Amino acid sequence: MRGAPLRIAAQAALALTLAAALVGTGYLACTAPAVTPALSSTLAWDDLSPFSKAQLSRVASATRDFSFGSHDETTLYRTIYQVNRELQSDPAGTSPASGAAKGAPDLDGLSDESDAAAFASAFSEARDAYVFDRAAIEHLDDVNRVATAALPVLAACVVAAIGAAAALVRTGGRRALAVPLIASSALVIGSFSVLGLWAAIDFTGMFDAFHSLFFTRGTWEFSANSLLICALPTELWMSLGAIWLTVTSLASVLACRTGIRLLKEAPQR
């Protein structure tokens, strides 16, 4: 009898850690390097921005790398500098008198070899339609801190799930995995169904609620024509949410089907 509580504990541990891992599959899919710039190249708000979709997509790619990858501030600033330099060298996009539109950054003295401090200083007086202001950089720093903390947690859940699965198989055979697989997939699909319905009815409300779990209220709000929002608009976040939902749901269905198949196996004697 003493083995039953341990088996139940292992099954519960596997169900919970596997549920986290299933959610993680969607997270990894929508934060993959190629996804954000690909979406931005189609969905960026170039009608509200002085930059083209292609330029905004480059900014989106650098933003994604800063938030979820290298966290290299110089590289992010350099990309913003490059698209501004292109804009100011294009007469159609600048003021003929000044060589730069009103509110654009002064690029004199800057080059691709400038450091983050030089870029930040030059951008400090520019409008947020052309650059990332300090508030935008601080928000992206917050995103990076959350993302950096999430990966070890996800890795720990995967390791714990493998350990719990191995213990169950050793003591009860493969069939012992059936209930945790079904339970974890049901938990995730049920939760994501609620979130998906919420997003369909009120995406802004859901987006704000999600952000309020990790960030101080107001720190993620920027003007509609800011460079950050034009490069990463609402439609892009909705698409990322759809990718997350789809990948996690497919992984959950696979886990559920595997659990049902194992449940049908004859129990070991």
pLDDT for residue 210 = 85
Residue at 147: amino acid letter: A
- d(C-alpha 243, C-alpha 186), whole Å: 19
Buried b (16+ CB within 10 A) or exposed e, 246-267: ebbbebbeebbebbeebeeeee
Do 115 and 142 meet the contact criterion of CB atoms below 8 Å apart? no
Count of C-beta atoms within a 10 Å radius of residue 157: 20
pLDDT for residue 268 = 57
Whether this model's pTM surpasses 0.85 = yes
Instruction: Quote the tokens at residue 179.
Output: 């209930």
pLDDT for residue 95 = 38
Q: Please give the C-alpha separations between residue 217 and each of 34, 213, 225, in angstroms, as whole numbers.
A: 29, 9, 20
DSSP string computed for 91-153: GGGS-TTTSS-TT----TT--TT--HHHHHHHHTTS-TTTS--HHHHHHHHHHHHHHHHHHHH
Length of the chain: 269
What string of pLDDT tens digits covers the 269 residues of the chain?
355 777 788 889 999 999 999 999 999 999 999 999 999 999 999 999 999 999 999 999 999 999 999 999 999 999 999 999 999 887 555 433 334 578 899 999 999 999 999 999 999 999 999 999 999 999 999 999 999 999 999 999 999 999 999 988 888 888 889 999 999 999 999 999 998 899 889 888 888 888 888 888 878 889 999 999 999 999 999 999 999 999 999 999 999 999 999 988 756 55
Domain ranges of the chain: 3-263
Instruction: Tell me the HSE value of 98 on the side-chain side, using a 13 A CA sphere.
Output: 13
- d(C-alpha 143, C-alpha 34), whole Å: 18
- d(C-alpha 75, C-alpha 66), whole Å: 8
Of 254, 48, 219, 31, the C-alpha closest to 137 is 219
- d(C-alpha 185, C-alpha 181), whole Å: 6
pLDDT for residue 170 = 87
- d(C-alpha 250, C-alpha 18), whole Å: 14
pLDDT for residue 134 = 92
Q: Please give the C-alpha separations between residue 32 and each of 23, 25, 69, in angstroms, as whole numbers.
A: 15, 11, 10
- d(C-alpha 212, C-alpha 225), whole Å: 23
